[in-house]
Structure 1
Amino acid sequence: MKKNKILEEILNEVDKHPEIMSRREALKYLTMSPLAASVLAGATVGATTASAASSSAKGKIVIVGGGLAGMSTAALIRNTASNLEVTVIEPDPTSVSYQPGQTLVAAGVWDKKDIIYNRDDFVPSGVKLIKGAVTAFDPDNNKVVVDGKEEVSYDHMIVATGLVLNYGGIKGLEGVITSSGADNAVVKQKIGKNGAYSIYFRDGAEDTWKGIQELVAKAKAHTGAEKLQALYTMPATAIKCGGAPMKIMYLTHAHLEKAGVANKVELTFNTAGGALFGIKEYADAITKQFEKRGFKWNFGYNLTEIDTDGKVATFTKTWKEKGEYDEDLEEYAMVTKSQAFPFKYDFIHVTPPMGAPEVVAKSAVGSMQGWVPVEKETLQHATYKNVWSLGDVAALPMGKTGGSARKEYHVVVQNLVAAIEGKALSAKFGGYTVCPLITSLGTVMLAEFDWSKKPTPSFPLDPTQERWIWWLLKVYALKPMTMYGMLSGRA
C-alpha cells in the first residue's frame, strides 16, 4: 500500500463529513503540515530490516484469532519470511472491523456501516484461513482443536483471540459477548434501551447514539429543579481502550451543550479504580477538564447490580480499615470493608467486566488471572517458548489498545523469526500505549505513554492539551492507517 493510497482513503473519510472539513482544506493541511506528513509516513514505512526481510525461516505458524492483531501479524510474517506456512483460525466473518470507531458511531459522527469490514477481504496472500473457533489448546503436543473436531498442529503458535465482554458479571444483566460483532441478543434484552447503553459492541454503539439523542430530548423537555442523571462506569477488571468510558461521557456532554441543555444534566463517572487515569500527568489534565465541565466522579465504585426497569444502578465501594493489633507482628491487621450505594439514573453507559475467552483462560496457555502470561518485552509465553501472544488477551500491565498492538506485532514477528533461526530475541516491547481521548466534538487529547508511566509524546506538542489536530487524526487518519497500513503488515 503506497502512501498516496493511504492519503486517498483519508480524503474519502473527509468526504463523508463536508460540514466539518472540505477535501480541499484537508488536502492542504495533510500535504503542507510536517506533523501530518510524519503521521502518513508512519503508516507506510516498512518495519522489517533488510536481513529480516530475506529470512529463509521455515515452519508452521498457527495464529489463533483473526482480528486486528492476528491478521496484521499474519501479514507481517508473510512480508518477513515468506517460507513460513501461516494459518489463521477465526470464526467471525467481520473480525477485522474497526472497533475504535464504535465511539464515533455512538456519537453520531459515523454510521455502523462505516466500521464494518469483511475478514476475507483482509486475509494476506499465502495465508490459510480456517473459518472456525479453537475449542481446545494442547501446547504440550503443539496442536489446537477447531470446533471440537479438527486438529491443527504447529511449530509456533500466536494467541491473539482478543477478550470477551462479560455483561453477565453484573447482577441484573445476562450474557457474554465474545467479539464486537458476535450474537448479542441476550445482552440486548437489557442493554440498548430504557436508558441503559454500552458502546463496547457494534449494535450497542449504534443504540447508544439513539440513547444520547433521547437524553437530549428529555433534557429539552425537563422543567424540574433537580437535574437529570447520567452515569458512566469503569469496572474492576482490565478493559480494552481504557479511555472509552470517559470518551462517551465527554461526547454526551458535547451533544447536550450543542443543544443548549448541558445545565439540565449531571454527568457522573464512577470508577472501580483510584484515579481518573493511570498516568499522573494525564490524570491531572482530565481532572481539570472534568472540573471545567462540571462533571462529578467517585473512586472505588464498582457497578455490581443494575435494575434496568427501575433505572437504579448499585455500586459497591470497597476499602480497608485497621483491624485488631497483632502483637507478634507488631502491626494492625487490615480488614476489607464494603458498602453498596444505589444511584438513580436517566442514562447510564455500562462498561462490562472483561476477560480472556474461557477456552483460553482455562487452558494450559492461560493463567490464574485468565490472560495469556508472556514476558512483557519479548511477548514470548512464560512456559511454552514456541507460544506467543499479543493484543487484548496478553497479560501485559498496559496496552489493550490498537496503538499498542501496532507496536506488539512487530516485536512478535521479529522474535518468532529469531527463535526459529536460533538467534537471541532482540526485539523489545516498551509498553507503548496510546489513547486518543475524545474530549468534545472537535478536540482530542492524545495520551501516549509506556512502561515508564510517563507521557511519551510522538510529536513536540504538550500531550495534556485538547487539540483539533488530534481530532483530525482520530476521525480521518487512524482508520485508513489501520485498515490499509497495519492490516497489510506495513504500518
Structure 2
Amino acid sequence: MDSNKIIDEVLEEIEKEGHKISRRDAMKLIAMSPIAAGVFANTVAPINAEASSSATGKIVIVGGGLSGIATAAKLCKKLKNPDVTIIEPNPISVSYQAGQTLISAGVYKKEDIIYQTKDYIPKDAKWIQKAAKNFDPDNNKVILEDGSEVSYDYLVVAMGVTLNYGAIEGLEGEITTLGNSDVVRKKIGKNGVYSLYFADGSVDTYEGIQDIIKKAKEIKGDEKLQLIFTDSPTAIKCGGAPKKIMYIAHDLIKKAGVRDKVEMLFYTNSDKLFSVPEYAQAIEKQYKERDFKWEFKTRLVSVDVENRVATLEKTWMEKGEWDKDLEEYEMIKKSERITKKFHFLHIVPPQKAPDAVGKSPLGSPASWVPAHKETLQHIKYPNVFAIGDCAAVPLGKTGGSARKQYHVVVDNLIAVMEKKDKLPAAYDGYTVCPFITSIGTVMFAEFDWSGKPAPSFPLDPTQERWLMWLLKVYLMKPMIYHGMLPGRI
C-alpha cells in the first residue's frame, strides 16, 4: 500500500465518525509525527533495499505478535541470506491490541482489531503453526507442544504475556488476549464484573457500561451506583489501560446525563498515579475535575461475583522500635482488608510471561525472561534475545516500546552473528501511553528511563488534545500494519 492510499484510508475512517479534516490538515498531523512520517517515507521502499549483512545462522523467533513479526521482517531485510523461522500457533496473533480500549468506548468493533497472521509473515521466513512448550537453551532447542524439537543458532523470545485472572480469588482462568476466553468468561462479563484486557472482554465492557447507564437512569432518590476500577500488583502491558477505562466510562455516562448517579473509585497498588511526575500531576488534576476518588497501595485480592462484593487489601508502613545500631526506626508493614459492594468492577489481571518460557531455564523466578535492559540480550545466554511484553525490563510493555525494541534486537543479534565484540544498539526505555481522557481527547504520554517526558511532537504532552485522538484512533493502526510489521519504522 502506498502513502496516498494510507492517507485516503485514514480520511475515510475519520469521516465515518462524523468528523471533518482536510487532506492538508491530515498531512500537517503526519508531518508533526516522526512515527507517521516514517511510515509514509518508507511505504514504497523495496523489501530487500537494506540487505547488508552476510552473516548466517538459523534464527528462531518464538512469538508471532507485533514484536516477533516486525523482528522477522527486519532480519529478512538486513540479512542477504536469511534463515528465519517463526513459531506461533495463533492464526490471528497480530491483532491490534491497542484498539481494545476503543472497543470498550464503542468506537471500534472487535473485527476492527483482527488481522490474519499469514498476511504479515515475511516471504523469506518459515512459519511453524504450533505452540512452544519448553526451552532447552543449553542445547539450543525449542520443544513444541507435540513433543517435536526445533533447533536454533540464535533465538528471539517474543511470547507476550498471559492474563492470570485465576490469581484473584473467586475468578478463574489464565488466558491470552485473543485466545479462547471461555474459562474466564464464566465469571467475567456478567454480574457487573468486566475486563478489557482480552478482546471478548473489551466487547463485554462496553455492554457493561451501557448497562450501568440504563440502571442509573432508573434510579429514584439519592442512591449512587458504585463503579470500582482496579490495577494489578504485577507489571502489566499497557499500564495506562486501568485508568483509560475509567475515563471512557465517565465520558459515556456523562454524555448519557447520569454522571451524578454514579461514584467512581480507582484502587492502585502503586503509591502514585503515574511514574512520571509531570503526567502524574496532569492525571491528578483530571481526576479531580471529573470527581474521581482514588486510593494508593490497595490491590484487589478476591471477588464474590454472585453477591457483587470486592475484597481489597490496603498496605502501609508504620514506625516500630528505635534501632540503636542503625540509629533509625524499624519500619513495619501493616495491612488490612476492606470489602466494597459494587455495581461495576473493572479487573486488571496479574500478568507474566507464558509458563512455557517463564518457568523454563530461560525464565526468571517471577516468570519473565531476564534480559539486559539496554541490549535486550538474555542475561545468561548470549545467543538469546527477549523483546516485548515478556521481557523483564523496567519499561516496555506497549506497542510503542516494541517499535523501538525490535530495531535494537535486530542490530544486536546481527552483531552477535558477525562475532563483533560490542553490541551496537541500546534501548533507552522509550514507551508511550495514549491516555484516552474522553471520547475525542487523548493525552499522549511519551517517556523513557530518564523519568521525564520524551515527546515526539512540538506540543505540551500533558494536555488533552483532539489532535492526539486523531493519531490514536486513525493513524496508529496504519503505522503498525504498514510501517512496523513490514520492518520499516
Structure 1 and Structure 2 fold alike (TM over 0.5):
yes
Q: Does 1:76 align with 2:90?
A: no
1:108 is aligned with what amino acid? Answer: G
Equivalent residues in 2 for 1:217-228 (5 A)?
A: 217-228=214-225
Partner in structure 2 of residue 464 of structure 1: 462
| Alpha-carbon contact 1:290-1:296 (below 8 Å) kept | yes
| Alpha-carbon contact 2:370-2:378 (below 8 Å) kept | yes
Q: Please report how far the alpha carbon of residue 108 of structure 1 lies from its aligned counterpart in structure 2 after TM superposition.
A: 0.5
Q: Secondary structure at the match of 2:83?
A: strand
CA displacement, residues 213-238 of structure 1 (integer Å, 9 cap, x when unaligned): 01111111112313111110001100
Partner in structure 2 of residue 484 of structure 1: 482
2:372 is aligned with what amino acid? Answer: E
Q: How many residues were matched structurally? A: 485
Q: Secondary structure at the match of 1:266?
A: strand
Decide which of 227, 232, 236 is 2:229's aligned counterpart.
232
d(CA) in 2 for partners of 1:72, 1:38 = 18
Partner in structure 2 of residue 103 of structure 1: 101
Q: Does 1:41 align with 2:37?
A: yes
After superposition, the CA RMSD in angstroms is: 1.8
| Alpha-carbon contact 2:49-2:77 (below 8 Å) kept | no
Partner in structure 2 of residue 441 of structure 1: 439
Decide which of 355, 359, 367 is 2:356's aligned counterpart.
359
Partner in structure 1 of residue 301 of structure 2: 304
Equivalent residues in 2 for 1:15-164 (5 A)?
A: 15-17=15-17, 19=18, 21-22=19-20, 25-33=21-29, 35-36=31-32, 38-45=34-41, 53-164=51-162
Partner in structure 1 of residue 419 of structure 2: 422
Q: Secondary structure at the match of 2:196?
A: coil
Q: Please report how far the alpha carbon of residue 180 of structure 1 lies from its aligned counterpart in structure 2 after TM superposition.
A: 1.0
d(CA) in 1 for partners of 2:406, 2:349 = 27
Q: Please report how far the alpha carbon of residue 29 of structure 1 lies from its aligned counterpart in structure 2 after TM superposition.
A: 1.6
Q: Does 1:318 align with 2:311?
A: no
Q: Secondary structure at the match of 1:102?
A: helix
Unaligned runs of 5+ in 2: none
Q: Please report how far the alpha carbon of residue 269 of structure 1 lies from its aligned counterpart in structure 2 after TM superposition.
A: 0.7
Once structures 1 and 2 are overlaid, which stretch shifts more, 216-225 or 405-414?
216-225
Once structures 1 and 2 are overlaid, which stretch shifts more, 89-98 or 215-224?
215-224
d(CA) in 2 for partners of 1:267, 1:82 = 56
d(CA) in 2 for partners of 1:184, 1:311 = 21
Query: In the superposition, relative to structure 1, how do residues 384 and 334 fare at CA in structure 2: closer, same or farther (>3 Å)?
Result: same
Q: Does 1:247 align with 2:247?
A: no
CA displacement, residues 184-233 of structure 1 (integer Å, 9 cap, x when unaligned): 11110110011110000000000011001011111111123131111100
Identity level (%): 55
d(CA) in 2 for partners of 1:31, 1:284 = 32
2:183 is aligned with what amino acid? Answer: V
Partner in structure 1 of residue 391 of structure 2: 394
Partner in structure 1 of residue 371 of structure 2: 374
Partner in structure 2 of residue 259 of structure 1: 256
Partner in structure 2 of residue 4 of structure 1: 4
Unaligned runs of 5+ in 1: none
Runs in 1 of length 4+ with deviation above 6 angstroms? none
| Alpha-carbon contact 1:251-1:439 (below 8 Å) kept | yes
d(CA) in 2 for partners of 1:207, 1:106 = 8
Q: Please report how far the alpha carbon of residue 56 of structure 1 lies from its aligned counterpart in structure 2 after TM superposition.
A: 1.2
Q: Secondary structure at the match of 1:109?
A: coil
